Amino acid sequence: MNSVVGTSERGESKSMFARLKDKIIVLSLSLMAIGNWSDTKSMIQEAYVAVVSNFTNVYEYESLAKVNVGSNIDYIYSIFGAPQLIKPSKYDDAVTINYYLDKKYILALLIEDKRVVGYSITGLKADFHPYSLLEKQPIQSPMRLVDRLENLNEFSIDHFNVKYFVLFEDLGKRYLFNQMAYGFVDYQRTKLDESLLVDAYTQANSPEPEDSIASTLSKLVSNETANYVAITEKAMPLLVDSILTQYEYQFYY
């Protein structure tokens, strides 16, 4: 029964997509007939992006996959345009944080001397799972955070300014000693258990962290998949600094 419903929904989506595509083609031909090719080309591109973005995340995934540590800021502008928000880093005076605030994601870029030295992507929709930041390929399934706890080394956690849990991984010589981060940022305040989050935060910040913190963290993220991924060649605190607070999120969204 479930498979039949799924097939029907896919058929309806394809049918709707086909109808929209037909309308775009008809309108495009009309504009071309009066010789306005420049406007027609722009309209076709905008309509294509709007339609694809409405039904899938493909356009967003492919755009985000073009971002790399080392990218020139002018190249970034050619893809995403100017950032909606720019903030100075609290940890490095030479670094600014550029934000692209999309309805599906937040892209935060660490910029130094017009060069990307780190970036993070925070998914805002349940079905939004960006490409791997290293392989630039679609991920086969969402990353389960509990699986990453096996090699737990360094992590950051908070429940005051925004609810989040992020763990860090040193990538070594193969990836030029860049550092990776995975985690969950709960802007909707519907996921991470408040009591477990506070408990884990208290244990992590005590003078002598308890051995039970691993168990607490495991319970905290037992059912969570990563909606936050990041990479940098700089110090990890800069990545954490780039996470918008709950107040900032509500203000800009």
Could you report the per-residue pLDDT of 128-155, keeping only the tens digit for each?
988 888 888 888 788 889 888 877 778 9
Number of domains in the chain: 2
- Same domain for 7 and 114: no
**DSSP letter string over 149-218?**
GGG--EEEEESSSS-EEEEEEE--GGGTT-EEEEEEE-TTSSSS-HHHHHHHHHHHTSSS--TTHHHHHH
- Same domain for 233 and 114: yes
* pLDDT-derived band at 6, boundaries 50, 70, 90: very low
Domain holding 8, by residue range, is: 2-55
61 falls within a domain? no
Residue-wise pLDDT for 155-183, tens only, equals: 999 999 999 999 998 887 777 778 999 99
- Same domain for 156 and 127: yes
214 falls within a domain? yes
- Same domain for 80 and 51: no
225 falls within a domain? yes
Which of 10, 25, 55 terminates a domain? The answer is 55
How far is 45 from 40, CA to CA, in rounded Å? 9
- Same domain for 190 and 81: yes
- Same domain for 93 and 51: no
